[in-house]
Structure 1
Amino acid sequence: MSKLTPADLDRYVFSRTGATNEDLLVGPAYGEDAAAVRVDEGTMVVSSDPISLAAERIGQLGVVVASNDVAACGGMPEWLVSTILLPDLDPERLDTITAQVDAEADRLGITVVGGHTESVSGLERPLLSLTCMGPAERYVPTSGAEPGDRVLLTKGAGVEATAVLASDFRGDLLDAGVDAAVVDRAEGYFDDLSVLPESVVLSAVATAMHDPTEGGVLGGAVELARASGVVLDIAREAVPVREETRDCCDAMSLDPLSVLGSGAMLAAVPEAEADEALSALEREGIEAAEVGRVEAVAGGDGPGVLLDGELRAEAVEDGMYALWE
């Protein structure tokens, strides 16, 4: 699975958006995972996301990924439209997926309001496409980071990848020598993937927020930098990596910074607000760290991520994808 280049997105997607509507506040753009629509009560945030690879927890993960895009804009996820496409009419598989969707949506306080379910010939595995909606008191874009901001990251790199590895590739991890207790703890990360708690803390002060998914923390940082037209100067050693993540990624020869990253929130926060934001996150029991700074683009390099002095400006290929090939 690969992402389209920004140029192709501009040419084939972002330039073809139908009728113009003055109530659309933020529409399709590189790095922006959710739209903002003006409604009578304020702002409605809307986002859609597909998921097809994490077979064991696809329903649970689908709800989290879709709702995280809303939360990462400062929205409160409330409604979900669920489309489930199956390779065959297998009642047991459908039962598992819908039970996961139901349980996770209930846990997060989200109501499933509709959708579509059918089997599609040619599919090799289930495919979910979920649309989440919710109101925002203050919409926070991906594109708002400003030079001088400090870059914060909650939880750590590769949280989602750690959970998926433990569920879908448990046998491979055990064969590689990862202790069973570590794998068990890693699978428990599925319950730590929502970024709604940190959104509540950060949305009042952040200039930009983004939840890293495909391509991990590095991929998410590149998207935020390019959307904002800035450089994120990040030190690899400053990026938190949990012990279970390190063990699982090492066993599968993966870079924790470049694998599925749901569960973390990247936020650009003004210098004067950053220390209090970190303290507020700590008071809520949310792990967080400062991982870098926002700098103005200098010279002819353009926006991107300066990771330990090396500029990364292109979309990051997620290291997890090769495991399903």
Structure 2
Amino acid sequence: MRIFITGGSGFIGSHLIPHLLAHGHHVELLTRHPLKAYQKLGHQITTHQQLNDFSDFNGFDAIINLAGEPIANGRWSERKKRRICQSRWKITEHLCELIMASRYPPEVFLSGSAIGYYGDHHTQFIYEDTMAKADDFAYQVCFQWEQIALRASNHTRVCLLRTGLVLGRDGGLMKQLVKPFKCGLGGPIGSGEHYQSWIHIHDMVHAIEYLLTHKTCQGPFNLTAPKPVTNTQLSQSLASHLHRPAFMRVPQFVIQLALGELSEMVLASQRVVPQRLQQAGFTFMFKELDEALTELFQHH
């Protein structure tokens, strides 16, 4: 397949692209820093510095949209919130315009989203058809992002990637999670009872490839492992794999003071299940958190 990717230099993209290349796909990447992209991903890729270079997407088989300002690193100032929105909405809009301008549009458009779409559901299981229970910033970002992507659905098959916490050795959330534990300051946050839905980077990459190649898949998909855990379970599991204690509970008010509005997302309970992915026949390699962490820490 000839695949065009945005946000490909990020944590997920830098795992996905080598996998796609190894499986014989041709990858073209939108990046402001071609040299860095070549250093990170090798010279098999083709780079483009702006979408304005294209008038349509004729000749491409698939578009994968992973672009977006990181959402969970630091407080949300009004300026940061604008960047989070614009970095997702504008590029998705432009991609849709190019798909719709194509005489021979790509067969599939995979567009990023997140489980922040659903809001806080306490201990309830969340499936793809679960109604969103929020009108907070995370929901607004995801809702609008998805609505824009769906504009292309008369022209191509659209899959929405509602992603959980992606666990990998070299980036994503793992870096932030591990820091306090390594200093002996790890532990649950708030009550620790809120559910967190995670996915191992291996399964994330393979799920994206599965959606690319399975032509009956369309609409929203939860990209999370089948067994979400509470924050306390996550903390205890991390502590045991790092051989560190996990007794430094961080009170909820400290999180709220430190993170402001972002704390709503950090403390939300989201027990998300990848129902549609499993119904479509996808098999997870890492269903249990302990299996995932064992694999990630075996080289430490």
TM over 0.5: no
Greater relative contact order (CA < 8 Å, ≥ 6 in sequence): 1
Higher share of residues assigned helix = 2
